[in-house]
Amino acid sequence: MTDQNQLLSVRNLRTDFSGHRGAVRVVDNVSFDVGRGRIVGLVGESGSGKSVTSLSLMGLVASPSGRVSADSILFDGSDLTKLTPDQLRHKRGRDMSMVFQEPMTSLNPVRTMVQQVGEPLSIHTNLSRRAIQEKVLHMFETVGIPEPAARLDAYPHELSGGLRQRAMIAMGLICEPKLLIADEPTTALDVTTQAQILRLMVALRDRIGTAIIMITHDLGIIAEMCDEVNVMYAGQIVEQADVFDLFDRPSHPYTRALLASIPKATEKRSGDRMSSIKGVVPNLVKLPQGCRFHPRCGDAMPICRVKSPDLTDLGRGHKARCWLHDKQGAAS
């Protein structure tokens, strides 16, 4: 992909949090790209660093307890690491926006929906109150909120979970941003509403041209939505690939384990136990030596227990952080 088609290019993003046990690195040298109009997935179990990565990109990590650094975060030609807080706020909400995981905790319970969804327009444009209300109404219609005019003065608790999530998407897209970060946008929604939300986001991407970072633990959503995928584990990216290549030839044991844990219709009929990944994501305060996945990995070799692998290029932009694909590891 040429630089002209590249919207976001992240290089060695690091996020540390300080506490009574000292500094803990939650995001460890993460690098990835997002092309204009592309949907790029960040997938992994809870605690893998996906949400903190998104908050770091948006400049929403609380300080002084949290500290974000990177070699560069190039967004539409500007390095976000070199912007002042005011300059970053000017981009946030206008050029880049975010749909948070749980709308009920993200929305203000004492402000109406038109006030909250229209707030980015109040901040970033000179539109009148009437013009903002008309644009919010149009966006409510666009995201499929029934009886949109009646919802303008509603409060969050008066809407269902699906309608609140649609309102959050409307808020994220109200300024027609170049980049939308969607953090588990269908969590706790029923299957029908989930499918509607995903179709809506793809349709809006096609109409507006907004690039999307889709954060999820659900590989089914990744398969349906994404063009490229980044698999995260314990704060690191362990595999990167085109979505078709990832499903055709998963190359990291963690990715293969995630794919194996997807429920299959035959399992439901036969009563077979679903596959699961043994163990849990490691405590970031006390990471295992060597590869971070080796305590849970059935393919672990002696080198995996003492030395951490780098991302190995497997061709066609497919990379995996695993000694199985490194000459040094294969020879051990």
| Residue 223 CB burial class (10 angstroms; 0-12, 13-18, ≥19) | middle
Taking each helix axis from N to C end, the angle separating 161-173 and 191-208, rounded to the nearest 10 degrees, works out to: 10
Domain stop point among 199, 233, 267: 233
**Range(s) of the domain holding residue 325:** 246-330
Q: Show which of 204, 233, 262 is a domain's final residue.
A: 233
- Cα→Cα distances 9→34, 50, 83, 143, 238, Å: 6, 16, 16, 29, 18
Highest-scoring range by mean pLDDT, 140-149, 217-226, 243-252: 243-252
Indicate whether 223 belongs to any domain. yes
**Per-residue pLDDT at 215 exceeds 80:** yes
**Residue 196 and residue 260 in one domain:** no
Phi/psi region, residue 325 (left: phi>0; alpha: psi -120 to 50; beta: rest), is alpha
According to the model, what pLDDT value does residue 270 have?
Answer: 52
Confidence class of residue 268 from pLDDT cuts 50, 70 and 90? low
- In a shared domain, residues 41 and 134: yes
Examine the pLDDT at 2 and tell me if it is beyond 60.
no
Note the pLDDT of residue 104. 75
270 plus 228 within the same structural domain = no
Based on the fold, state whether residues 15 and 154 are members of the same structural domain: yes
Q: Which residue, of 233, 259, 284, is where some domain finishes?
A: 233
Confidence (pLDDT) at 131? 96
In this structure, are 192 and 259 located in the same domain?
Answer: no
pLDDT at residue number 329: 53
* 191 pLDDT tier (thresholds 50, 70, 90): confident
Q: How confident is the model at residue 266, as a pLDDT?
A: 54
Tens digits of per-residue pLDDT, 273-332? Answer: 667 788 888 999 899 999 999 999 999 999 999 999 999 999 989 999 999 987 655 555
**Whether 91 and 212 share a structural domain:** yes
Segment 207-215 mean pLDDT:
93
Q: What pTM does this model have?
A: 0.90
| Rg of the chain, C-alpha, whole Å | 21
Long-range contacts for 252-259 (Cβ within 8 Å, ≥24 apart)?
A: 252/293, 252/320, 252/321, 252/322, 253/293, 253/297, 253/298, 253/299, 253/322, 253/324, 254/293, 254/296, 254/297, 255/231, 255/320, 257/296, 258/43, 258/44, 258/219, 258/231, 259/219
Q: Does 211 share its domain with 262? A: no
Domain presence at residue 239: no
Total length of the chain: 332
* Beta strands 179-183 and 96-99, pairing class: parallel
Averaged pLDDT for residues 13-25? 89
pLDDT above 80: residue 28: yes
- pLDDT confidence tier of residue 261, bands split at 50, 70 and 90: confident
**What is the pLDDT, as a whole number, of residue 22?**
81
User: What pLDDT, on a 0 to 100 scale, did the predictor assign at position 322?
Assistant: 96
Q: How many domains are there within the chain?
A: 2
Question: What integer best gives the mean pLDDT of the chain?
Answer: 90
3-state secondary structure of 135: helix
Query: Is 126 within the bounds of a domain?
Result: yes
